[in-house]
Amino acid sequence: MTEELTSFLQEIKYDIEERLPKHLEQLRAPLVLKDAMIYSLNAGGKRIRPALLLATIKSFEKPIRSGLDMACAIEMIHTYSLIHDDLPAMDDDDLRRGKPTNHKVFGEAMAILAGDALLTYSFELVATMNEKEITATQKLLLIQELAKAAGPEGMVGGQVADIEGENQALTLEELVYIHQHKTGELLAMSIVAGAIIAGATTDDIRNLRLFAKELGLMFQIKDDILDVEGDTETIGKPSGSDDGNNKSTYPNLLGLNGAKKKLDEHMLRAKEYLYNVNMNHELLLTLTTYVAERDH
Protein backbone atom coordinates (compact mmCIF):
# COMPACT_ATOMS: atom_id res chain seq x y z
CA MET A 1 0.00 0.00 0.00
CA THR A 2 1.39 3.41 -0.97
CA GLU A 3 2.12 6.15 1.56
CA GLU A 4 -0.59 8.31 0.00
CA LEU A 5 -3.23 5.58 0.32
CA THR A 6 -2.14 4.73 3.86
CA SER A 7 -2.43 8.39 4.84
CA PHE A 8 -5.81 8.74 3.12
CA LEU A 9 -7.26 5.62 4.76
CA GLN A 10 -5.99 6.64 8.19
CA GLU A 11 -7.47 10.11 7.80
CA ILE A 12 -10.83 8.74 6.63
CA LYS A 13 -10.89 6.13 9.39
CA TYR A 14 -10.22 8.81 12.01
CA ASP A 15 -12.86 11.20 10.64
CA ILE A 16 -15.56 8.51 10.35
CA GLU A 17 -14.84 6.89 13.71
CA GLU A 18 -14.95 10.28 15.43
CA ARG A 19 -18.18 11.23 13.66
CA LEU A 20 -20.16 7.96 13.98
CA PRO A 21 -20.74 7.87 17.77
CA LYS A 22 -21.49 11.61 17.88
CA HIS A 23 -24.51 11.04 15.65
CA LEU A 24 -25.87 8.44 18.08
CA GLU A 25 -24.95 10.08 21.39
CA GLN A 26 -27.34 12.95 20.63
CA LEU A 27 -30.33 10.64 20.11
CA ARG A 28 -33.14 10.65 22.66
CA ALA A 29 -33.22 6.87 22.89
CA PRO A 30 -32.75 4.26 25.66
CA LEU A 31 -29.16 4.27 26.86
CA VAL A 32 -28.71 0.49 26.46
CA LEU A 33 -29.86 0.75 22.84
CA LYS A 34 -27.38 3.54 22.10
CA ASP A 35 -24.64 1.57 23.87
CA ALA A 36 -25.36 -1.50 21.73
CA MET A 37 -25.36 0.56 18.52
CA ILE A 38 -22.13 2.36 19.39
CA TYR A 39 -20.46 -0.89 20.54
CA SER A 40 -20.62 -2.39 17.07
CA LEU A 41 -19.89 0.89 15.27
CA ASN A 42 -16.76 1.24 17.41
CA ALA A 43 -15.59 -2.30 16.70
CA GLY A 44 -13.22 -1.00 14.03
CA GLY A 45 -12.90 -2.61 10.64
CA LYS A 46 -11.51 -1.45 7.34
CA ARG A 47 -14.08 1.33 6.75
CA ILE A 48 -13.70 0.43 3.09
CA ARG A 49 -17.17 1.72 2.11
CA PRO A 50 -16.61 5.24 3.50
CA ALA A 51 -13.14 5.17 1.94
CA LEU A 52 -14.53 4.28 -1.49
CA LEU A 53 -17.24 6.94 -1.26
CA LEU A 54 -14.87 9.70 -0.19
CA ALA A 55 -12.15 8.58 -2.60
CA THR A 56 -14.65 8.90 -5.45
CA ILE A 57 -15.53 12.45 -4.40
CA LYS A 58 -11.84 13.32 -4.09
CA SER A 59 -11.15 11.82 -7.53
CA PHE A 60 -13.63 14.28 -9.03
CA GLU A 61 -11.72 17.03 -7.18
CA LYS A 62 -14.66 17.90 -4.93
CA PRO A 63 -14.46 18.51 -1.14
CA ILE A 64 -14.82 15.22 0.74
CA ARG A 65 -16.57 16.89 3.70
CA SER A 66 -19.76 16.87 1.61
CA GLY A 67 -19.83 13.06 1.77
CA LEU A 68 -18.98 12.43 5.44
CA ASP A 69 -22.56 11.99 6.66
CA MET A 70 -23.42 9.76 3.69
CA ALA A 71 -20.37 7.67 4.51
CA CYS A 72 -21.57 7.36 8.12
CA ALA A 73 -25.03 6.29 6.94
CA ILE A 74 -23.57 3.53 4.76
CA GLU A 75 -21.34 2.35 7.59
CA MET A 76 -24.38 2.17 9.88
CA ILE A 77 -26.18 -0.07 7.40
CA HIS A 78 -23.10 -2.23 6.98
CA THR A 79 -22.77 -2.53 10.77
CA TYR A 80 -26.45 -3.44 11.16
CA SER A 81 -25.97 -6.25 8.64
CA LEU A 82 -22.97 -7.58 10.58
CA ILE A 83 -24.86 -7.54 13.90
CA HIS A 84 -27.68 -9.56 12.36
CA ASP A 85 -25.32 -11.87 10.42
CA ASP A 86 -23.62 -12.85 13.66
CA LEU A 87 -26.85 -13.91 15.39
CA PRO A 88 -27.42 -17.60 16.23
CA ALA A 89 -30.20 -17.79 13.64
CA MET A 90 -27.77 -16.60 10.94
CA ASP A 91 -24.01 -17.32 11.03
CA ASP A 92 -23.85 -17.85 14.83
CA ASP A 93 -20.47 -16.15 15.33
CA ASP A 94 -18.91 -15.37 18.72
CA LEU A 95 -16.24 -12.98 17.39
CA ARG A 96 -16.38 -9.98 15.09
CA ARG A 97 -13.17 -8.04 14.41
CA GLY A 98 -11.55 -9.77 17.35
CA LYS A 99 -14.24 -8.73 19.84
CA PRO A 100 -17.31 -10.54 21.22
CA THR A 101 -20.24 -10.12 18.84
CA ASN A 102 -23.08 -7.78 19.78
CA HIS A 103 -25.48 -10.47 20.95
CA LYS A 104 -22.78 -11.98 23.17
CA VAL A 105 -22.53 -8.66 25.02
CA PHE A 106 -26.09 -7.29 24.93
CA GLY A 107 -28.23 -10.37 24.27
CA GLU A 108 -30.03 -11.44 21.13
CA ALA A 109 -33.08 -9.20 21.51
CA MET A 110 -31.02 -6.03 22.00
CA ALA A 111 -28.70 -6.98 19.14
CA ILE A 112 -31.69 -7.29 16.79
CA LEU A 113 -33.04 -3.92 17.95
CA ALA A 114 -29.62 -2.25 17.67
CA GLY A 115 -29.40 -3.45 14.07
CA ASP A 116 -32.92 -2.23 13.34
CA ALA A 117 -32.12 1.16 14.84
CA LEU A 118 -28.92 1.58 12.82
CA LEU A 119 -30.75 0.73 9.61
CA THR A 120 -33.62 3.15 10.12
CA TYR A 121 -31.51 5.99 11.53
CA SER A 122 -29.20 5.85 8.51
CA PHE A 123 -32.02 7.11 6.27
CA GLU A 124 -32.84 9.93 8.69
CA LEU A 125 -29.18 10.93 8.54
CA VAL A 126 -29.19 11.11 4.74
CA ALA A 127 -32.47 13.06 4.70
CA THR A 128 -31.05 15.69 7.05
CA MET A 129 -27.68 16.19 5.31
CA ASN A 130 -26.49 19.78 4.93
CA GLU A 131 -28.57 21.37 2.17
CA LYS A 132 -25.77 23.84 1.41
CA GLU A 133 -23.69 20.90 0.15
CA ILE A 134 -26.32 18.39 -1.04
CA THR A 135 -29.43 19.36 -3.02
CA ALA A 136 -32.87 17.87 -2.32
CA THR A 137 -32.70 16.07 -5.68
CA GLN A 138 -29.35 14.52 -4.77
CA LYS A 139 -30.70 13.43 -1.38
CA LEU A 140 -33.68 11.72 -2.97
CA LEU A 141 -31.43 9.86 -5.41
CA LEU A 142 -29.06 8.86 -2.62
CA ILE A 143 -31.92 7.52 -0.48
CA GLN A 144 -33.27 5.56 -3.45
CA GLU A 145 -29.85 4.07 -4.23
CA LEU A 146 -29.23 3.23 -0.57
CA ALA A 147 -32.61 1.55 -0.10
CA LYS A 148 -32.18 -0.53 -3.24
CA ALA A 149 -28.63 -1.60 -2.33
CA ALA A 150 -29.62 -2.60 1.20
CA GLY A 151 -33.07 -4.03 0.49
CA PRO A 152 -34.69 -7.10 -1.10
CA GLU A 153 -33.06 -6.51 -4.50
CA GLY A 154 -29.69 -5.96 -2.87
CA MET A 155 -28.05 -7.00 0.38
CA VAL A 156 -31.07 -8.66 2.03
CA GLY A 157 -31.83 -10.62 -1.14
CA GLY A 158 -28.21 -11.77 -1.18
CA GLN A 159 -28.43 -12.83 2.46
CA VAL A 160 -31.53 -14.91 1.69
CA ALA A 161 -29.77 -16.62 -1.22
CA ASP A 162 -26.76 -17.20 1.05
CA ILE A 163 -28.91 -18.91 3.71
CA GLU A 164 -30.72 -21.03 1.14
CA GLY A 165 -27.39 -22.02 -0.37
CA GLU A 166 -26.03 -23.53 2.84
CA ASN A 167 -25.47 -27.28 2.73
CA GLN A 168 -25.90 -27.18 -1.07
CA ALA A 169 -23.43 -27.39 -3.92
CA LEU A 170 -23.89 -24.03 -5.65
CA THR A 171 -22.93 -23.24 -9.21
CA LEU A 172 -20.51 -20.38 -9.86
CA GLU A 173 -23.42 -18.32 -11.22
CA GLU A 174 -25.38 -18.81 -7.99
CA LEU A 175 -22.35 -17.88 -5.91
CA VAL A 176 -21.78 -14.72 -7.97
CA TYR A 177 -25.41 -13.73 -7.35
CA ILE A 178 -24.93 -14.09 -3.60
CA HIS A 179 -21.72 -12.08 -3.57
CA GLN A 180 -22.98 -9.36 -5.90
CA HIS A 181 -26.02 -8.81 -3.73
CA LYS A 182 -24.94 -9.62 -0.18
CA THR A 183 -21.66 -7.67 -0.33
CA GLY A 184 -21.29 -6.06 -3.73
CA GLU A 185 -24.38 -3.86 -3.87
CA LEU A 186 -23.52 -1.78 -0.79
CA LEU A 187 -19.91 -1.47 -1.92
CA ALA A 188 -21.05 -0.38 -5.36
CA MET A 189 -23.54 2.05 -3.85
CA SER A 190 -20.70 3.71 -1.89
CA ILE A 191 -18.92 4.58 -5.12
CA VAL A 192 -22.12 5.60 -6.93
CA ALA A 193 -23.05 7.80 -3.95
CA GLY A 194 -19.69 9.53 -4.18
CA ALA A 195 -20.28 10.19 -7.87
CA ILE A 196 -23.79 11.58 -7.21
CA ILE A 197 -22.48 13.90 -4.49
CA ALA A 198 -19.66 15.03 -6.80
CA GLY A 199 -22.17 15.86 -9.57
CA ALA A 200 -20.79 13.30 -12.03
CA THR A 201 -22.35 12.80 -15.47
CA THR A 202 -24.75 9.95 -16.22
CA ASP A 203 -22.09 8.17 -18.31
CA ASP A 204 -19.48 8.47 -15.58
CA ILE A 205 -21.93 7.12 -12.97
CA ARG A 206 -22.77 4.19 -15.27
CA ASN A 207 -19.09 3.25 -15.72
CA LEU A 208 -18.39 3.68 -12.02
CA ARG A 209 -21.33 1.40 -11.22
CA LEU A 210 -19.81 -1.27 -13.48
CA PHE A 211 -16.38 -0.70 -11.93
CA ALA A 212 -17.89 -0.99 -8.46
CA LYS A 213 -19.67 -4.27 -9.23
CA GLU A 214 -16.34 -5.81 -10.26
CA LEU A 215 -14.71 -4.39 -7.15
CA GLY A 216 -17.47 -5.83 -4.97
CA LEU A 217 -16.85 -9.32 -6.38
CA MET A 218 -13.12 -8.83 -5.84
CA PHE A 219 -13.78 -7.94 -2.23
CA GLN A 220 -15.80 -11.09 -1.56
CA ILE A 221 -13.45 -13.41 -3.45
CA LYS A 222 -10.60 -12.02 -1.36
CA ASP A 223 -12.66 -12.62 1.81
CA ASP A 224 -13.15 -16.25 0.70
CA ILE A 225 -9.41 -16.60 0.10
CA LEU A 226 -8.61 -15.07 3.49
CA ASP A 227 -11.02 -17.52 5.14
CA VAL A 228 -8.66 -20.24 3.89
CA GLU A 229 -5.29 -18.50 4.23
CA GLY A 230 -5.86 -15.91 6.97
CA ASP A 231 -5.32 -16.31 10.69
CA THR A 232 -7.84 -15.54 13.42
CA GLU A 233 -5.83 -12.68 14.94
CA THR A 234 -5.42 -10.86 11.62
CA ILE A 235 -8.92 -11.27 10.15
CA GLY A 236 -10.75 -10.97 13.49
CA LYS A 237 -12.73 -14.21 13.23
CA PRO A 238 -11.91 -17.92 13.13
CA SER A 239 -10.34 -18.98 9.82
CA GLY A 240 -12.26 -21.71 8.02
CA SER A 241 -15.59 -20.50 9.42
CA ASP A 242 -17.21 -20.72 5.99
CA ASP A 243 -16.33 -24.42 5.77
CA GLY A 244 -17.75 -24.88 9.26
CA ASN A 245 -21.02 -23.34 8.11
CA ASN A 246 -21.13 -25.53 4.98
CA LYS A 247 -21.07 -22.53 2.64
CA SER A 248 -20.01 -22.55 -0.98
CA THR A 249 -17.02 -20.30 -1.64
CA TYR A 250 -14.77 -19.50 -4.58
CA PRO A 251 -11.93 -21.70 -3.25
CA ASN A 252 -14.40 -24.57 -2.73
CA LEU A 253 -15.72 -24.27 -6.29
CA LEU A 254 -12.57 -23.30 -8.18
CA GLY A 255 -9.75 -24.33 -5.88
CA LEU A 256 -7.51 -21.76 -4.16
CA ASN A 257 -5.48 -21.03 -7.31
CA GLY A 258 -8.66 -20.79 -9.38
CA ALA A 259 -10.11 -18.29 -6.92
CA LYS A 260 -6.97 -16.19 -7.15
CA LYS A 261 -7.15 -16.27 -10.95
CA LYS A 262 -10.79 -15.17 -10.84
CA LEU A 263 -9.80 -12.32 -8.52
CA ASP A 264 -7.24 -11.15 -11.11
CA GLU A 265 -9.85 -11.32 -13.90
CA HIS A 266 -12.27 -9.11 -12.00
CA MET A 267 -9.49 -6.67 -11.15
CA LEU A 268 -8.60 -6.31 -14.84
CA ARG A 269 -12.24 -5.61 -15.78
CA ALA A 270 -12.63 -3.16 -12.90
CA LYS A 271 -9.68 -1.13 -14.14
CA GLU A 272 -11.04 -1.12 -17.71
CA TYR A 273 -14.33 0.41 -16.54
CA LEU A 274 -12.53 2.91 -14.31
CA TYR A 275 -10.40 4.20 -17.20
CA ASN A 276 -13.64 5.15 -19.02
CA VAL A 277 -14.50 7.67 -16.30
CA ASN A 278 -13.50 11.32 -16.68
CA MET A 279 -11.71 11.71 -13.34
CA ASN A 280 -8.33 11.35 -11.66
CA HIS A 281 -8.00 7.55 -11.52
CA GLU A 282 -4.96 7.18 -9.27
CA LEU A 283 -6.60 6.91 -5.85
CA LEU A 284 -9.32 4.43 -6.90
CA LEU A 285 -6.76 2.36 -8.81
CA THR A 286 -4.64 2.14 -5.67
CA LEU A 287 -7.70 1.18 -3.62
CA THR A 288 -8.52 -1.53 -6.16
CA THR A 289 -5.06 -3.03 -5.71
CA TYR A 290 -5.46 -2.79 -1.93
CA VAL A 291 -8.74 -4.75 -2.02
CA ALA A 292 -6.98 -7.52 -3.96
CA GLU A 293 -3.86 -7.65 -1.80
CA ARG A 294 -5.15 -6.95 1.74
CA ASP A 295 -4.49 -9.44 4.55
CA HIS A 296 -7.66 -8.79 6.60
Q: Can you give the pLDDT of all 296 residues of the chain as single tens digits?
A: 678 888 999 999 999 999 999 999 999 999 999 999 999 999 888 899 999 999 999 999 999 999 999 999 999 999 999 999 999 999 899 998 889 999 999 999 999 999 999 999 999 999 999 888 899 999 999 999 999 999 999 999 999 999 898 888 899 999 999 999 998 999 999 999 999 999 999 999 999 999 999 999 999 999 999 999 865 555 455 555 555 556 789 999 999 999 999 999 999 999 999 999 999 999 999 999 988 998 88
Contact 283, 59 (CB under 8 A): yes
User: What separation, in Å, do the N-terminal and C-terminal C-alpha atoms of the chain show?
Assistant: 13
pLDDT at 235: 46
User: In sequence order, which residues have a C-beta less than 8 Å from that of residue 110 and are 6 or more positions away?
Assistant: 32, 33, 36, 102, 103
Element of type H or E holding 96 = strand 95-96
Alpha-carbon distances, residue 94 vs 13, 48, 295 (angstroms): 25, 23, 21
H/E stretch holding 32 reads helix 31-41
- Tell me the three state secondary structure of residue 180: helix
**Residue 284, pLDDT score:** 95
Residue 240 pLDDT? 54
Rg of the chain over all Cα atoms, to the nearest angstrom: 18
Helix (H, G, I), strand (E, B) or coil at 95: strand
**What pLDDT is recorded for position 122?**
98
Q: Please give the CATH number for the structural domain made up of 3-293.
A: 1.10.600.10
What is the pLDDT at residue 243? 53
Say what the pLDDT of residue 245 is. Answer: 52
What pLDDT does 247 receive?
73
Orientation of helix 68-85 relative to helix 155-164, angle to 10°: 20
Q: Is the dihedral of CA 69, 74, 80, 83 positive or negative?
A: negative
Q: How far apart are CA 199 and CA 239, in angstroms?
A: 42
Are 105 and 39 in contact, with CB atoms under 8 Å apart? yes
Q: What is the pTM for the complete model shown? A: 0.90
